[in-house]
Amino acid sequence: MKRTRMKPASLVLLLVALAFTAFSAEQASAQEYKETYNAALEAAKAKDFAGALELFKEAAIGADNAEDSDIARRARYVAAQLENRLGNAAYKAEQYDVALAHYSSGSDLYAEFIKNGYGEGQALIKIGRIDDGLAELVKVVKAPGDRKTSLAAETAIRQHFYFQASSAVSKSNAISRDADRAITALNQLTQYELAPDADFHYYMAEAHRIKGDAETSLSSADEALGLHQGTRTDKAKIWYVKAQAHVALRQTDAAKEAFTNAAVGAYKQSAEDWISRL
């Protein structure tokens, strides 16, 4: 069979046609991911957040393939925000496993959006993975940029341990064993590189009062008063435990002064009763 040889001119035309076809395909692909991105925006505006999320993820992958880093970054950033929104909804509904999945996905998409890291930490604690949850919150505390979320993470870490301390020392007829539980929780908090604040020292003062260590209780109460920035009503509990330490140390005048400062809000009646008896 006789083989037909392609003329040079025909070969050139074929190569040009093939190149044009490839270029057109790339243009079509590029146009497709941009259209997907725009469709995602429209879905988000229509509050179809689950649908928008999937479209933004798809647009990000298409932008990666087209080496369009700007669209890829924007698509992932919005997708991370949507994961956070969906995670918050699940968390509010007490569906903590579902919330965790959304938060984790959001962190994978755009780690710099640390609200998802904060959500991860909270959700992990809710499902009983305490150490993992606290570790995630520590990452958020140390993350740059979103100071508001970092402070929220710091507060969440503190409140986890303060809840344990408060539960121990606020029991009716609390005993030394309860105080030791509170002190252990407070000492655990120091492992997270967070400076002791007024609440830390207040619970320490209460714990040492219960243990019968009036001098340490008094010292802790003074530390708490020095750091406290709230109202006089908020500060009353600290003055009250300080006054009790003075009573234990038989420092009557100092106790009266402290009870006078404590005589507001919920502590008013009890503080005044103490003053009348001293």
Tokens found for residue 18: 């093939």
Find the mean pLDDT for residues 232-261. 96
* pLDDT at residue 246, rounded to an integer: 97
* pLDDT at residue 13, rounded to an integer: 39
* pLDDT at residue 19, rounded to an integer: 40
pTM value surpassing 0.85: no
Distance of CA 261 to the CA centre of its chain: 35
Find the mean pLDDT for residues 225-230. 94
In tens, the pLDDT along 12-50 reads: 433 333 343 343 445 545 579 899 999 989 999 999 999
* pLDDT at residue 30, rounded to an integer: 58
**3-state SS class at 231:** coil
* pLDDT at residue 26, rounded to an integer: 52
Give the number of other CB atoms < 10 A from CB of residue 144: 8
Q: How many CA atoms lie within 13 A of 148 on its CB side?
A: 2
Q: Is the pLDDT of residue 11 over 80?
A: no
* pLDDT at residue 109, rounded to an integer: 96
Tokens found for residue 28: 């079509």
In tens, the pLDDT along 260-272 reads: 999 999 999 999 9
Q: Is the pLDDT of residue 9 over 80?
A: no
* pLDDT at residue 164, rounded to an integer: 96
Tokens found for residue 151: 């402070």
Confidence of residue 193 (pLDDT cuts 50, 70, 90): confident
